[in-house]
Structure 1
Amino acid sequence: MPATTSPNAPAVAPAAAATPARKPATSVVITGLGVISPLGNTPDALLDGLRSGRSGIAEFTQIPTGAYCVSHGAEARQFTGDIQDYGPLEKSMQRTIKKGSKVMCREIEMGVASAQLALHHAGFSPDQFDRDRTGVLFGSDYIMSLPEEYAEGIAACIEDGKFQFSKWGQQGLPEVNPLWLLKYLPNMPASHIAIYNDLRGPNNSLTLREASSCAAIAEATSTILRGHADALVVGATGSRVHPLRTMHASTQETLAADRDDPTEMSRPFDAARDGSVLGEGAASMLFESREHAEARGAAIFGEVIGYGTSAAGEFAGPRPIQIAIANALRAAIRSAQAAGHGDTPVGHVHAHGLADIDFDRDEAAAIVDVFGDVESQPPVTTAKGHFGNLGAGGGMVEIIGSLMCLGSNLFAIRNLDSLAADCPIRAVTDASVAAGDSFISVNVTPQGQAAAVWIRR
């Protein structure tokens, strides 16, 4: 008797076509750069600002001055959110991004703009990329709403001069823009970049404060080496210039006091340092397997040869920041050794260099712990003297600064007039120091999360 099929039985999907096996990636390279920073919105402008000793620190324009313990910081003043800030785009893409800007806060706009700039710089062309194997990996901090998002809703709940929470559900909430949350979700930079460019490969978001940039590079490198993608847009965005974020930083962190000359406020490793400076910025790079980049004839700006992360909390000991940084540096070196790059000289270290008294002391101790005394260490620099702490995007901006220096000279640490006795590092104090052909960059959060990457020419 012939077999019968129930009319309600699910259809059987045809067997998927076999996918040709791909050779594992031998290495991961950088083929495009995009930056939004207080020193400018191109890699060349960033490098010129670093080498010339220009500062991005000035009086705040986005938040009230006199309302906080400081009135100066490093804003990305050349970024206005205008579509021209996203680089050369086809008209259809311009229209799409303009429409999407309605649900993008400033941090997300900066991140998306840096990604579009990196894609353009890399010569991204749809016919050279498999969209299913091209994705996005982006870092950020938690992104805070602007108070005005709730202003009308709160006003609707005021009675006799007092806010009545019992009225919020019926009278307050309807006054809040229903798309409000989309403007501030930390996964939205990766979402927008993928959607605008139809990148259907791996998509991930990391929220590790200042460690986000190096952690994103580590995860992206691992993803490509595992064979899960051919190319990834990798970036990070952050801002500490914000009505609420600035208030949080003012109460939770040690900030540098205002000075008559605000450009002298951020003083990494200096004997007169007294705290960090608030800033904002974003940067992105296009990462590809070497095989993919070479097959399309792309210019290669660098290669990731090692990476490492660590977290050390209060139970780790009296100086967890030192432990976390040392662990991340050692992990990056071990990673490079395991990949056969152990003989590569470290041209320089791009330090976190927060300019906080305790952080700088502990970071210097970590550098001594890993590399030895001053005579044994590679040169150490940091860009934070120029623009302070940019938050989650700072590490990516700093990495591009170091990458642009490889094969030539480094930039000096701005405002380092007298190296602190508790910071025994081989600090770069003039522009005659060679950057070498590779560098290790490291960043750390106040909670003791650290990440480091090792990149060579």
Structure 2
Amino acid sequence: MSHRPDVVVTGLGATTPLGGDVPTTWSAALAGRSGARTLENDWAEKHGIAVNFAASLAVRPEDVMPRPEIKRMDPSAQYAVIATREAWADAGAPDVDPERLGAVVSSGIGGIQTTLDAWDTLRERGGRRVLPMTIPMLMPNSPVAYVELEVGAQAGAHALVSACASGAEAIGYGIEMIRSGRADVVVAGGTEASIHPLPIAAFAASRTLSTRNDDPAGASRPYDTTRDGFVLGEGAGIVVLESAEHARARGARVYARLSGVGLSSDAYHLTSPEPAGRGQVAAMRRALADAGLTAADIHHVNAHATSTTVGDLIEARAVRELLGSAADQVALSATKSMTGHLLGGAGALETIFTVLALHERTAPPTINVSDPDPELDLDLVRDAPRPLGDGPRAALNNSFGFGGHNVALVAQTV
């Protein structure tokens, strides 16, 4: 049997509603700050949309990217490139054979702003005014194509699409690229840029968005009895994955080991999770088995927990079913309470949070939970960070998406 290499995280990058980079985002999360705010536009009034807030980026691309670059990229690609530059520098810009370097960057919705803007241009000004770069900008693999160009990756560039599980699945695929021997280093993650009147109107119409227009910062309330939907967010999270051997050979700093990948699909409903959480339990169980761990080894879970009335408890019951009595020692965090829901970027950003929780041995808080749901049978980290203690520690990061996609990743201290 061939040796399966360990995969470690050596670089982190992000641009989020909490900050323009990872340190700022992480410190804001530990401080329990919300990135949700009232939108500075007239979309809600002009288009009759029930929601007038979202968790928009803390630092705009135009503040950190040259204008010529911005003009040829959809915002989803801009965010991915910004996060990649930080992650690559954070990893020490590894000297790696381009044919041993891969890229996997996903988006749940893709270049929707480019698509809708081009349609407006076509209707109002005619076909001759549609930008020649429109197709390369709107295609869902555009972010990974720009990331591949940015770092010179030639081992393969991939864009898996699995709705809100996309970012986590991209990281899982990156892990498999290294394990299979196809790459030594992979830049992986997710990105989303869908704060636009159409997606907001569509999510509002489906009654999945919170309508707390008078309190945006308090709107994302995972596990609270008054939760009424998620807050739309935007941004990107990118990690540099590396075989432990490659990282060791170059003396790289290692944040954590990503040791388990678990995937499943519900085959139940296009948008609703299977009520018993069968697929979620299966994904988590497979991730634990892949990592060679048992329930007793898990000390932290970063939950998918979007703040929907039904979904939060399905996941909580699934975690309890998987871990049994061992769940009593688990610190549960629901970081979308602060960042909002980054859709295809969520699983990647939450992987970064999970990795940092282990690296700094600190579980980030969940905010806005003033009245925990009495059916929540787990230990929720509320309002303030919690130490995770000494010794070996492992954590689960869950990501679930429309279409019944379930992804669970296991990270371990090094």
Tell me whether the two structures share a fold, i.e. TM-score over 0.5: yes
Q: In the alignment, is the contact (CA less than 8 A) between 2:221 and 2:368 conserved in 1?
A: yes
2:169 corresponding residue in structure 1? 215
The 1-side partners of 2:84 and 2:273 are apart by 36
The 2-side partners of 1:391 and 1:375 are apart by 27
| 1:398 equivalenced with 2:345 (yes/no) | no
2:289 corresponding residue in structure 1? 334
Tell which deviates more after alignment, 304-313 or 137-146: 137-146
Q: 1:219 Cα shift?
A: 1.0
1:446 corresponding residue in structure 2? 402
Task: Tell me how large the CA RMSD over aligned residues is.
Answer: 2.2
| 1:155 equivalenced with 2:124 (yes/no) | yes
Instruction: Provide Cα deviations, 1:318-351, integer angstroms capped at 9, x if missing partner.
Output: 95162222111111011112xxx45872120000
Return the letter of the residue paired with 1:264. G
2:369 corresponding residue in structure 1? 416
Q: 1:257 Cα shift?
A: 1.4
| 1:277 equivalenced with 2:231 (yes/no) | yes
The 1-side partners of 2:113 and 2:214 are apart by 32
Q: 1:428 Cα shift?
A: 1.2
1:130 corresponding residue in structure 2? 97
Q: Give the secondary-structure state (helix, strand or coil) at the position aligned to 1:349.
A: strand
User: What is the correspondence of 1:293-304 to structure 2 with a 5 Å cutoff?
Assistant: 293-304=247-258
Q: 1:110 Cα shift?
A: 0.1
Return the letter of the residue paired with 1:56. G
Return the letter of the residue paired with 1:312. D
| 1:176 equivalenced with 2:157 (yes/no) | no
| 1:268 equivalenced with 2:222 (yes/no) | yes
After superposition, the Cα gap between the structure-2 partners of 1:26 and 1:75, relative to the gap in structure 1 and judged at 3 Å, is same
User: Alignment partner for residue 336 of structure 2, among 353, 361, 384?
Assistant: 384
| 1:434 equivalenced with 2:403 (yes/no) | no
The 2-side partners of 1:395 and 1:265 are apart by 20
Q: Which has the larger radius of gyration?
A: 1
User: What is the correspondence of 1:216-295 to structure 2 with a 5 Å cutoff?
Assistant: 216-295=170-249
| 1:312 equivalenced with 2:293 (yes/no) | no
Q: In the alignment, is the contact (CA less than 8 A) between 1:59 and 1:65 conserved in 2?
A: no
The 1-side partners of 2:38 and 2:113 are apart by 22
Q: 1:45 Cα shift?
A: 1.1
1:346 corresponding residue in structure 2? 298
1:105 corresponding residue in structure 2? 74
Instruction: Provide Cα deviations, 1:339-365, integer angstroms capped at 9, x if missing partner.
Output: xx4587212000011100011121112
Q: 1:179 Cα shift?
A: 1.8
Q: 1:100 Cα shift?
A: 4.2
Return the letter of the residue paired with 1:268. P
2:16 corresponding residue in structure 1? 37
Tell which deviates more after alignment, 405-414 or 209-218: 405-414
Q: Give the secondary-structure state (helix, strand or coil) at the position aligned to 2:406.
A: strand
Instruction: List gaps (5 residues or longer) in structure 1.
Output: 1-22, 86-93, 157-171
2:29 corresponding residue in structure 1? 50
After superposition, the Cα gap between the structure-2 partners of 1:145 and 1:433, relative to the gap in structure 1 and judged at 3 Å, is closer
| 1:70 equivalenced with 2:51 (yes/no) | yes
The 2-side partners of 1:155 and 1:383 are apart by 41
After superposition, the Cα gap between the structure-2 partners of 1:333 and 1:398, relative to the gap in structure 1 and judged at 3 Å, is same
1:456 corresponding residue in structure 2? 412
Q: In the alignment, is the contact (CA less than 8 A) between 1:373 and 1:424 conserved in 2?
A: no
1:114 corresponding residue in structure 2? 83
Identity across aligned pairs (percent)?
A: 26
The 1-side partners of 2:185 and 2:304 are apart by 28
Q: Give the secondary-structure state (helix, strand or coil) at the position aligned to 1:206.
A: coil
Q: In the alignment, is the contact (CA less than 8 A) between 2:299 and 2:329 conserved in 1?
A: no
The 2-side partners of 1:330 and 1:377 are apart by 18
Return the letter of the residue paired with 1:335. D
The 2-side partners of 1:401 and 1:79 are apart by 21
2:279 corresponding residue in structure 1? 324
Q: In the alignment, is the contact (CA less than 8 A) between 2:296 and 2:326 conserved in 1?
A: no
Q: Give the secondary-structure state (helix, strand or coil) at the position aligned to 1:403.
A: helix
Return the letter of the residue paired with 1:306. G
User: What is the correspondence of 1:4-19 to structure 2 with a 5 Å cutoff?
Assistant: none
Instruction: List gaps (5 residues or longer) in structure 2.
Output: none
Q: In the alignment, is the contact (CA less than 8 A) between 1:273 and 1:356 conserved in 2?
A: yes
The 2-side partners of 1:312 and 1:234 are apart by 25
Q: In the alignment, is the contact (CA less than 8 A) between 2:302 and 2:397 conserved in 1?
A: yes
1:160 corresponding residue in structure 2? none
After superposition, the Cα gap between the structure-2 partners of 1:62 and 1:330, relative to the gap in structure 1 and judged at 3 Å, is farther
Tell which deviates more after alignment, 28-37 or 373-382: 373-382
| 1:363 equivalenced with 2:315 (yes/no) | yes
1:168 corresponding residue in structure 2? none
The 1-side partners of 2:409 and 2:79 are apart by 23
Question: TM-score, normalized by length of structure 2?
Answer: 0.91
The 2-side partners of 1:116 and 1:256 are apart by 33
The 2-side partners of 1:62 and 1:294 are apart by 50
Tell which deviates more after alignment, 250-259 or 328-337: 250-259
The 2-side partners of 1:286 and 1:335 are apart by 20
Tell which deviates more after alignment, 191-200 or 26-35: 191-200
The 2-side partners of 1:24 and 1:194 are apart by 28
1:139 corresponding residue in structure 2? 106
Return the letter of the residue paired with 1:395. G
The 2-side partners of 1:103 and 1:58 are apart by 28
The 2-side partners of 1:330 and 1:451 are apart by 11
The 2-side partners of 1:319 and 1:119 are apart by 36
